[in-house]
Structure 1
Amino acid sequence: MVGPANKRQKREEYKNSKGDKPATELPKKKFYRQRAHANPFSDHQLTYPASPEHMDWSSHYPAFVLENSQEQIDAESEANVQTGLAVKRLKQDIEVADIGCGFGGLLVALAPIMPDTLLLGMEIRTQVTEYVQERIKALRAQHPGQYENAACLRANTMKFLPNFFKKHQLSKIFLCFPDPHFKARKHKARIVSTTLNSEYAFVVRPGGIIYTITDVEDLHNWMAQHFNAHPSFERVGEEEQEADECVKVMRVETEEGKKVERNQGQKFVALFRRLEDPPWR
């Protein structure tokens, strides 16, 4: 006697049936649920480039691939010489990274607001990454010409952030409701630390902003303490912070943010500006 299908079987049945559904249909989140957090120190089965020059973004941003022109030929030739691979080049670089993007609420909210900027969601959980990718695909089908500037990939940024982005490439990084890792012995796994802040300083251009939000006051203080102590960052004033349109979106569009809202919890926000590098002596 065959019993009722378990969660994994239902998930597979749903995914196998997607070919029969219209391209505009949004994925159902219940079939992509996964544990809230993943261990960043585990050896996940990840694919990552040896360097930013080795990364081919063309499948993620097909609308932004250089057209068949001398410019494209020159760009691809240069890339192929550097990497030894056939790498298609984009018209522009990615500028915004949502690290730990979850189910992509912030990503898809920012995409129409910043239509000329490439945004990338980075998520370590397999099923959640797949959900965001399917969500973006459906939104592109629903709204032709929109959401082409948003994409998501599976990545462990604590290990491989500089593999994806070159020096001073990004103008914004979002760290929204990261895992608090409450226990002291787990603090080394927090997404903000002295070491990781130096990596953020490498990929964020001077004048760029790192956005943080959490409902855990201890984590908020931890992130502020570590960014304030880093010579490459300064805290953005509250008046400028509250005038930032991205802050308004960040407060209300993430899934965790909506959950905190329902539970009438607090949200702690802090922004940090990348400073100019001091001159060499």
Structure 2
Amino acid sequence: MVGPPNKRQKREEYKKSQQGGLATGSGTEQQIKLPKKKFYRQRAHANPFSDHALAYPASPAEMDWTRHFPAFVRNASQSQSQSQTQSEIGTPRPPMTRDVEIADIGCGFGGLLVALAPLFPETLMLAGMELRIQVTNYVIDRIAALRAQNSGAQNQNSGLYQNISVIRTNSMKFLPNYFTRGQLAKIFLCFPDPHFKQRKHKARIVSAQLNAEYAYVTRPGGLVYTITDVEELHGWMTRHFDGEEAGEGRELWERVAQEELERDPCVRIMSEETEESKKVTRNGGRKFVAVFRRKEDPEWPG
């Protein structure tokens, strides 16, 4: 006697049906539905120190962004116009019309990416970085569905959501493998794992060492956005970016004034549109926001 399908079977059947519908291109905008989170459930946390058998580029020059952002790949005429420049500098340029300029580290279910996509439709591309495999798969399917819903010559928003993507990676280990020095304009650290136990603090996404890496990939004037509902973690992140914790960092970061945050639409979006921020709002919790600007590199002493 065959019993009802278990959760794994239901999940696999659901994903096959989703992929089949998107691959054939059948269905109208109303028929193409967003993925359901219940089929992508996973543990809330992943150990950043474990070996997750991740594939990552040896350097930013080896990173292939074309499969993430096909709408921003140079066409044949653009590539030909670049041939003389390439021969002059002696190294091939990546076949992209733009570089990735925003990173959402620990992007979760992709709410921030989806909300930011219309805000920066052309000038910036967004890359979500997530370690949990099922969560990453959900964001991949979510972006594919949103692109399909907004495709077609008669759709005025046919280019919408072409500027966002997600990567399964460990940013605590491999961030400089993806981005060159000064490449990013914005980094988002939204509701990171608080790791309450003191012996787990080394796994927090903010530290003196990691902040130096953020400074390396962020251009002068670029911003790091942080938000959490844990006041102790907010203090931890603020102290480390201010350089109070380890005596380092004052040369790299300065805190953005509250008046400027009130004018920044990114602050509103990360405070209201992400899945975690909505949950905090439903539960009546508090949200602690701090944004830090990358300083100009100090001159070396003569």
TM range (shorter): over 0.9
The letter of the residue matching 2:103 is A
Conserved 8 A contact 1:76-1:88: no
Conserved 8 A contact 1:65-1:88: no
| Structure 1 spans left out of the alignment, 5+ residues | none
The letter of the residue matching 2:144 is K
The letter of the residue matching 1:94 is V
Cα deviation for residue 240 of structure 1 reads 0.7
Q: Distance in 1 between matches of 2:206 and 2:89?
A: 33
* Structure 2 counterparts to residues 161-176 of structure 1, below 5 A: 161-176=175-190
Q: TM-score, normalised by structure 1?
A: 0.94
Equivalent in the alignment of 1:51: 59
Equivalent in the alignment of 1:278: 298
CA RMSD of aligned residues (A): 1.9
Conserved 8 A contact 1:212-1:269: yes
Alignment CA distance shift 1:75-1:265 (3 Å) = farther
Which moved further from structure 2: 107-116 or 67-76? 67-76
Q: Does 1:185 align with 2:191?
A: no
* Structure 2 counterparts to residues 90-239 of structure 1, below 5 A: 90-116=96-122, 117-143=124-150, 144-229=158-243, 230=249, 231-239=251-259
Q: Does 1:39 align with 2:53?
A: no
**3-state SS of paired residue (1:38):** coil
**3-state SS of paired residue (2:76):** coil
Q: Distance in 2 between matches of 1:18 and 1:80?
A: 44
| Structure 2 spans left out of the alignment, 5+ residues | 26-31, 151-157, 244-248
Q: Does 1:259 align with 2:267?
A: no
Equivalent in the alignment of 2:95: 89
Equivalent in the alignment of 2:35: 27
Alignment CA distance shift 1:59-1:238 (3 Å) = same
The letter of the residue matching 1:161 is L
Identity of aligned residues (%): 64
Cα deviation for residue 280 of structure 1 reads 2.0
Equivalent in the alignment of 1:12: 12
Alignment CA distance shift 1:77-1:174 (3 Å) = farther
Q: TM-score, normalised by structure 2?
A: 0.87
The letter of the residue matching 1:268 is F
Once the two structures are superposed, residues 49-98 of structure 1 have per-residue CA deviations (whole angstroms, 9 ceiling, x without a partner) of 0000001100100010011132455688899967xxxx952111100000
Conserved 8 A contact 1:53-1:79: no
